[in-house]
Amino acid sequence: MQVDLFDPDLNVKINRTMAQIQKRGFELKDCYKDLSGLEPYFSDKAALQGYKSKLYKLLDDGRQYEQVGEAACDNLYDLEALAVAAYGSSFYTNLALIVDFSGCLDFIMHRGYGCRIRDIRKIKDYNVVSRSLLNRDFARIGTEVTFDSLLSASNEFYQQMSDLSTRVQENLEIPKDEQVPYMIYEFYRKLLSVLHRLKFYVMADVCRQLSAKGNKTVIRSMSYSSVLACTSEVFNDVVKLHQLDGTFDDYEVPFRTYKPYEYIGEVLRRDELAWGIQV
């Protein structure tokens, strides 16, 4: 499958859809209300109970989105990814379709700052840096360290940051001791904004194409790096992203479908749970 970037008509619909999903309600499907399907994934009962408690608290709190500039992240994303929500009578089975851009820092820097994909790919610990930056998770890296590694990797990025530095220094409203943090924030805000628009458009277009083939899909949630839809049929494929005007390189992103509870395996493998869990 191929996604052509960007169809103006779809872009108009996307603005409306993004607003709708941030207000979407959430209710556990009756057969999943005890979350018992999590048990096979945990060997530590305390860890299992801790994770269940976390999910029930999220459910009690209700859907909330945090934002960095234009980019937004759903606090119920983990629940949505477990495919345990009540989707409605038109969905006979629960399946979660996810496109995850966590490993795509090279492409986002290419689109946002004109960097060459191969230059960004060669930075040290690329996978950790990409996942950390694009998920707003700096536990394993420092923003300043990452900023320096990107500057040294790409001449294009270095030049844009040099231009920004000049403008910041000339802005008398920004104190000297706040200039570097301001530059880092501006870089990060733009990075996530580019990703935000791209990831949502890609999911919306894939959903449009799948629906035309009879595979019903509804976008339900997003994290900073990912977008999630419920779907009536399995779709596991690599999707080609193609810029219609040729200004950016082609790129490929994987789509994966998860059955109820299956996504917890991904969470555990990435060691995203905070409690020393034994899998």
**Contact partners, residue 142, CB within 8 Å, separation at least 6:** none
279, pLDDT greater than 80: no
Q: How confident is the model at residue 274 (pLDDT cuts 50, 70, 90)?
A: very low
Here the tokens at position 217 are: 């899909």
145 CB-near residues (< 8 Å, 6+ apart): none
How far apart are the C-alpha atoms of 76 and 73, rounded to whole Å? Answer: 9
Locate 94 and state its tokens.
Answer: 């629960």
Residue 139 and residue 274 in contact, taking contact as beta carbons nearer than 8 Å = no
Q: What mean pLDDT is predicted for residues 14-18?
A: 83
Alpha-carbon dihedral sign for residues 189, 200, 60, 265? negative
Segment 158-207, tens digit of pLDDT: 999 898 888 988 887 888 888 888 888 888 899 999 999 999 999 999 99
User: How far, in Å, CA of 279 to CA of 276, rounded?
Assistant: 9
Band (pLDDT 50/70/90 cuts) for residue 278 is: very low
Region at 256 (left for phi over 0; alpha for psi -120 to 50; beta for the rest): beta
At residue 145 the predicted structure's pLDDT band, cuts being 50, 70 and 90, is low
pLDDT tens, residue by residue, 235-264? 999 999 999 888 999 999 999 999 999 999
Retrieve residue 6's tokens: 């960007």
pLDDT digits (tens, 9 = 90+) for 50-67: 999 999 999 999 999 998
Convert the chain into a string of H (helix), E (strand) and C (coil).
CEEEECCHHHHHHHHHHHHHHCCCCCCECHHHCCCHHHHHHCCCHHHHHHHHHHHHHHHHHCCCEEEECCEEEECCHHHHHCCCECCCCCCCCCCEEEEECCCCHHHHHHHHHCCCHHHHHCCCCHHHHHHHHHCCCCCCCCHHHHHHHHHHHCHHHHHHHHHHHHHHHHCCCCCHHHHHHHHHHHHHHHHHHHHHHHHHHHHHHHHHHHHHCCCCEEEEEECCCEEEEEECCCCCEEEEEEECCCCCCCEEEEEEEECCCCHHHHHHHCCCCCCCCCC
Residue 165 CA neighbour count, 13 Å, CB half = 8
| Cα dist from 264 to 5, 37, 51, 102, 122, whole Å | 32, 10, 10, 17, 30
Name the residue type at position 17.
Answer: T
